[in-house]
């Protein structure tokens, strides 16, 4: 019996200078993907992926199309090798790669969406300074109580529920700091993240209507295979409802822990991180119990591809 496979796509925070270069050098169809992102954005995204500098690559207006280009390059190689998924999910920005993998949108429109998303998020981040901290060692209910207490001072919210006890909070810098102090008083660790805005918070609420209007211009199809969405930890088949989910995703928490638990309920056996680094693999190790029989692979370049193809041959 064929094993059930999930493709997981990373988002912001997984970037590294040099990402995608070996695939670009190996495959003509990957070069076409990088040419496409440069054409859609009218910038040298491919050069930033391959050569940096890291400071410029990490700017959200560049990073969103850059990460998406590498994710789609890795996906294209897997598709060329005849490897297909049964379900897919992407972490925040990575959700757009999932939409492409599931046939909801084509590659050109995927790049248009993430480029627009990056510009809108950058616009709001310049208006409203924000911060994000990872809280380690408390569960979601404990963090929600802390957020509720700190919210009396201003904007703060849960951004990412990554694992049972790794939760990212987001909001105004001083309020996020206050919440982190409350968490540390309860025995947790609080780690500031290197971000340029308070993603998934009310501070970027100004993006939502503009992005919803932009989404209305892009044709969406019903998914060919299920996508587990960040804000619901469930799948959706109606294209118009998917557009609404993607508009709301900007200011809503990423329910990654719940999404991975849903995949276990659906008896997914093989998890493949499709894109740079191993952030999602690290999260999986903390989410999936050792007693659950599964395999995890990373396809982030030629080496990871070879290991995966050998394993599934």
Please list the pLDDT of the chain residue by residue as tens digits (313 residues): 589 999 999 999 999 999 999 999 999 999 999 999 999 999 999 999 999 999 999 999 999 999 999 999 999 999 999 999 999 999 999 999 999 999 999 999 999 999 999 999 999 999 999 999 999 999 999 999 999 999 999 999 999 999 999 999 999 999 999 999 999 999 999 999 989 899 999 999 999 999 999 999 999 999 999 999 999 999 999 999 999 999 999 999 999 999 999 999 999 999 999 999 999 999 999 999 999 999 999 999 999 999 999 998 7
- Is residue 18 located within the same domain as residue 116? yes
Q: Could you give the 3-state DSSP secondary structure of residue 141? A: helix
Range of the domain at 151: 131-194
Copy the structure tokens of residue 222.
């019903």
Residues listed for the chain: 313
As for how many domains the chain has, the answer is 2
Using a 10 angstrom Cβ sphere, with 0-12 exposed, 13-18 middle and 19 or more buried, the burial of residue 88 is buried
Residue closest to 111 by CA, chosen among 37, 161, 55? 37
Q: Any idea what the CATH number is for the domain that residue 256 is in? A: 3.40.366.10
- What are the b/e assignments for 232-245, b being 16+ CB within 10 Å? bbebbeeeeebbeb
The H or E element spanning position 30 is helix 28-41
**Catalytic residue list:** 92, 200
71: Cβ–Cβ under 8 A, 6 or more apart, which residues?
Answer: 9, 10, 90, 94, 97, 274, 275, 276
Question: Do the Cβ atoms of 189 and 135 come closer than 8 Å?
Answer: yes
Residues 208, 66 share a domain: yes
CATH code for the domain of 173: 3.30.70.250
């Amino acid at each position: 019996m064929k094993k059930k496979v999930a493709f997981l796509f990373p988002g912001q925070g997984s970037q590294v200078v040099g990402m995608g270069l070996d695939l670009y050098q190996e495959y003509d169809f990957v070069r076409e993907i990088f040419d496409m992102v440069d054409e859609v954005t009218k910038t040298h995204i491919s050069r930033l992926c391959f050569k940096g500098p890291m400071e410029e690559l990490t700017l959200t207006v560049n990073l969103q199309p850059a990460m998406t280009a590498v994710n789609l390059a890795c996906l294209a190689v897997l598709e060329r090798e005849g490897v297909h998924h049964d379900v897919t999910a992407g972490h925040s920005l990575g959700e757009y790669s999932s939409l492409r993998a599931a046939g909801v949108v084509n590659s050109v429109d995927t790049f248009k969406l993430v480029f627009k998303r990056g510009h809108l998020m950058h616009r709001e981040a310049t208006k409203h300074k924000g911060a994000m901290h990872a809280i380690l060692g408390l569960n979601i209910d404990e963090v929600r109580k802390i957020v509720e207490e700190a919210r009396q001072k201003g904007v703060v919210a849960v951004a990412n529920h990554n694992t049972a006890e790794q939760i990212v909070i987001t909001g105004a810098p001083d309020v996020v700091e206050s919440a982190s102090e409350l968490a540390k008083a309860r025995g947790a660790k609080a780690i500031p993240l290197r971000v340029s805005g308070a993603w998934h918070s009310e501070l970027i609420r100004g993006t939502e209507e503009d992005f919803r209007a932009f989404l209305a211009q892009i044709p969406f199809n019903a998914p060919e295979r299920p996508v587990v969405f960040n804000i619901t930890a469930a799948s959706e088949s109606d294209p118009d409802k998917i557009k609404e989910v993607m508009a709301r995703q900007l200011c809503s928490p990423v329910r990654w822990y719940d999404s991975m638990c849903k995949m276990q309920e659906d008896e997914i056996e093989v998890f493949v991180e499709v894109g740079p680094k191993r952030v999602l693999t690290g999260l999986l190790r903390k989410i999936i119990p050792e007693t659950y029989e599964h395999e995890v692979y990373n396809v982030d370049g030629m080496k990871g591809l070879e290991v995966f193809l050998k394993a599934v041959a």
